[in-house]
Structure 1
Amino acid sequence: MRLRSLSKNLLLRVLVAIVLGTVFGLFFPEWLARVFMTFNGIFSQFLGFLIPLIIVGLVTPAIADLGKGAGKWLAATAAMAYGSTVFAGLLAFLVAKSTYPWLLGGHTAVDGLENPEEHALSGYFDITMPPVFDVMTALVLSFCLGVGITFVRGTTLHQGFGELRTIVMRIVEKIIIPLLPIYIFGMFLSLTMNGQIVLVISTFLRVVILAFVMTVVILLIQYTIAGVVTKRNPLVLLKNMLPAYATALGTSSSAATIPVTLECTRRNGVDGRVAGFTVPLCATIHLSGSTMKIVLFSLAIMTISGMPINTWQYVGFIFLLGVTMVAAPGVPGGAIMAAVAILQSSLGFDETAVGLMIATYVAIDSFGTACNVTGDGAIAAIMNRILTGKDGTLRNAPPVPAQ
């Protein structure tokens, strides 16, 4: 209930911030708007300082947790989840590259989204907060430590990073999330006063519709593959997962939806032991819907901003995003909080672009979560087929991971 309340309250506050920022930007005096620009500058600096710590504090224990217990079945499930996540990102990239030239139309010629801290509006002062280390260092360090912990028999280091995860989570919950609507308010206030709000709204409404269509396409592909492997009707498998989809729409949380997802996978004939292993694991590492949304929205921002889109650089971003998404279920506000780091480091997003990503992602967060959760059922069905012998009995059943 706590996650559900948090997600709903955050969504409401973000929507209110967007509306108020747009309306107030029509008549706010410049001196007052600069107060919010000052806050936005400080908040951006603090967020930039915190991002490497978020990566180390969340990704390291998440990878360490994955290395315990299930042997090759863990590897098989993780490989399928990662492959599905990366595939969704690559498919979204191809669709965006082929449709944005005509879908966004004349918006591609706009001379970028100006950073309000550098142009028409600026803060009264700024405070520099350099991060302890850069984002790539944090990602490599998290991977090395997370994998390394799985080979260490002791529990001290694992427990220590678990406590670091708790500290990072408290900072995000108590500081970042409560202040996020103010930051988004200031950003949309600036966009309105700079005369850019019409461009932003008209562009992202089209991208949102495309994201909904892509959700259906991704789920049909996932369940077609599951249907071929299990030799069952994919539409029936997908229909049985609809209660999990609906629950995720209401909770915006893969973790909170686990009980319903488990029940739906059992309706598809998945053994309870397989479901109890794959569903909680995939709730942590399988984020195809979230990745698809991040790719679509980031490419839209790059398109209307006039930023260069290098295909191979962006493909590398998608593969990094798949790894970073492991931390996403533990971050209030969705996968976008975990993805901010590589959006800045790999794609060169500034404060305005990051703010737009956060605002648009949170606004339809539940739809990405619903796609993630529903896709978990396809992976569970495939794993059940792999683990089931010709005589119909379960062989080498994996242990249920500790929650």
Structure 2
Amino acid sequence: MKKLGLLPRILIAIALGIAIGTISPTWLVEVFATFNSLFGNFLGFAIPLIIIGFIAPGIGTMGKGAGKLLGLTTFIAYSSTVLAGLLAFFAAKGLYPTILANQTSQAFENPEEALAKALFTVDMPPVMGVMTALLISFTLGLGMASLKGDRLLNVMNEFRDIVEKVIEKIIIPLLPLHIFGIFANMTYGGQVGAIMSVFAKVFIMIIALHILYLMIQYTIAGSARKQNPFNMIKNMFPAYFTALGTQSSASTIPVTLEQTKKMGVREKIADFSVPLLATIHLSGSTITIVSCAMAVMVIQGETATLGTILPFILMLGVTMIAAPGVPGGAVMAALGLLESMLGFNSTMVSLMIALYLAQDSFGTACNVTGDGAITALTDKLMKKDKKPTKQTQQQAS
């Protein structure tokens, strides 16, 4: 199983969960439910650590590299991420009442009561609340950015490495088993038909939004550079398909860099912007997270408003800074916000993880491909910013 990518393992886990949940006796489903309870509690314990481990060193590192190119690239990347989230919100708001009609929690009465219960639980309280972790992260990050020394930043970078190891070696490998247990339990409770119907419809909408947003990004970049946006997108196909396979923006950097330079972007701009954007630009992941979160809220019979989702999107763009280069890193970084800002309970978090990871590779591919458009636009804006010399003014006249 380790030789398979995360996506195949997730799909196998879903299929096996449905198959075994159909025929399993109650005691076996309760065993799976016990594992899910333990894993969910550990995840709750880890969320504040993940927040501090990602956000604090991310902000600190960004501040250390202050400069015009950094500021411009970061501003465009953050704006792109927020706009992607808003696109997902309005698309979901317009389409979900139709495509997810009659698929709220009322459609399968009291889902919590239908699920098998864990045989036992182990309390794993987090060391602090999510909002406390966020405030500590911002305080430490901004403080490290303003300090001349790097000692605390080095400590936080090592702490981030530890958190990444926890995600890479414990959480991600166990997620397929967790998702297997979720679907076995939902099948046992008679809910899987409604959930799978939601999965299929949301999946199609998300892929369509990825394509639409890439068209928007390259239309803007192509117009600014007077290049054909379709040729620019075609040029980035190798990066897109590499990201589909690796499910990691960081692992795709060499290919993204090469293809971006082929679009005519200056080498020094590409060398700086592409690795940075692999860390801070997550428009595809944001589309996926917002779409999946709203779908889970619909399933639970809740309604999402712009007043609820907009602050979530604004915080999401910051929280996912320096999300690890491992598959599923973005949703791991977002779990704290889902709980604190959208009120997700453990069942909703489990559904969210399953929904997100089933198409994580497509979100990563959208992120990576969009990096090329932002780099090209940044290159053009940096050229515009240069004041013409007397020689160039005389040549122009």
Alignment gaps of 5+ in structure 1: 394-403
Letter in 1 for 2:81: T
Please, which moves more after superposition, 118-127 or 295-304?
118-127
Displacement of 1:283 after TM fit? 0.3
Match of residue 377, structure 1, among 344, 347, 372: 372
Please, which moves more after superposition, 130-139 or 197-206?
130-139
Q: Is the 8 A contact 1:286 1:376 kept in 2?
A: yes
CA gap of 1:151–1:173, structure 2 versus 1, over 3 A, is same
Match of 1:35 in 2: 31
Please, which moves more after superposition, 215-224 or 176-185?
176-185
TM-score w.r.t. the length of structure 2 is 0.93
Displacement of 1:28 after TM fit? 0.7
Match of 1:289 in 2: 284
1:140-155 pair list within 5 angstroms: 140-155=135-150
**Aligned-pair identity (%):** 52
Q: Is the 8 A contact 1:112 1:305 kept in 2?
A: no
Q: Is the 8 A contact 1:211 1:293 kept in 2?
A: yes
Q: Deviations 1:354-395 (Å, cap 9, x if unpaired)?
A: 1222122222111111100110111111111122259999xx
CA distance in 1, matches of 2:166, 2:288: 26
CA gap of 1:78–1:275, structure 2 versus 1, over 3 A, is same
Displacement of 1:111 after TM fit? 4.7
Match of 1:333 in 2: 328
CA distance in 1, matches of 2:357, 2:57: 25
CA distance in 2, matches of 1:229, 1:132: 49
Q: Is the 8 A contact 1:82 1:286 kept in 2?
A: yes
Q: Is the 8 A contact 1:334 1:365 kept in 2?
A: no
Instruction: Say yes or no: does 1:90 pair with 2:93.
Output: no
Q: Deviations 1:296-333 (Å, cap 9, x if unpaired)?
A: 11111111210232320111111111111113244542
Match of 2:301 in 1: 306
Q: Is the 8 A contact 1:240 1:268 kept in 2?
A: yes
Instruction: Say yes or no: does 1:355 pair with 2:355.
Output: no
Match of 1:68 in 2: 64
TM-score w.r.t. the length of structure 1 is 0.91
Q: Is the 8 A contact 2:51 2:137 kept in 1?
A: yes
1:172-191 pair list within 5 angstroms: 172-191=167-186
CA distance in 2, matches of 1:307, 1:264: 43
Match of 1:51 in 2: 47
Match of 2:391 in 1: none
CA distance in 1, matches of 2:108, 2:93: 18
SS at match of 2:157: helix
CA gap of 1:391–1:106, structure 2 versus 1, over 3 A, is closer
Q: Is the 8 A contact 2:247 2:326 kept in 1?
A: no
Q: Is the 8 A contact 2:202 2:295 kept in 1?
A: yes
SS at match of 2:160: helix
Displacement of 1:346 after TM fit? 1.1
CA gap of 1:152–1:7, structure 2 versus 1, over 3 A, is farther
Displacement of 1:212 after TM fit? 1.1
Letter in 2 for 1:88: A
Q: Deviations 1:34-90 (Å, cap 9, x if unpaired)?
A: 111112111111110110001101211122121223412211110110000010000
CA gap of 1:258–1:120, structure 2 versus 1, over 3 A, is closer
Displacement of 1:108 after TM fit? 4.1
Match of residue 206, structure 1, among 201, 208, 211: 201
Alignment gaps of 5+ in structure 2: 389-397
Match of 2:257 in 1: 262
Q: Is the 8 A contact 2:278 2:371 kept in 1?
A: yes
Please, which moves more after superposition, 124-133 or 326-335?
326-335
Q: Is the 8 A contact 1:172 1:332 kept in 2?
A: no
CA distance in 2, matches of 1:183, 1:226: 41
SS at match of 1:122: coil
CA distance in 2, matches of 1:390, 1:299: 40
SS at match of 1:254: coil
Displacement of 1:120 after TM fit? 3.7
Match of 1:364 in 2: 359
Letter in 1 for 2:196: I
CA distance in 2, matches of 1:145, 1:122: 41
Q: Deviations 1:168-192 (Å, cap 9, x if unpaired)?
A: 1222222212222221111111100
Would you say how many aligned residue pairs link Structure 1 and Structure 2?
Answer: 389
Letter in 2 for 1:320: M
1:103-122 pair list within 5 angstroms: 103-108=99-104, 110-111=106-107, 116=112, 119-122=114-117
Letter in 2 for 1:362: L
Q: Deviations 1:233-272 (Å, cap 9, x if unpaired)?
A: 2222222111111111111111111111111111111000
Letter in 2 for 1:259: P
Match of residue 317, structure 2, among 318, 322, 328: 322
CA gap of 1:94–1:330, structure 2 versus 1, over 3 A, is same
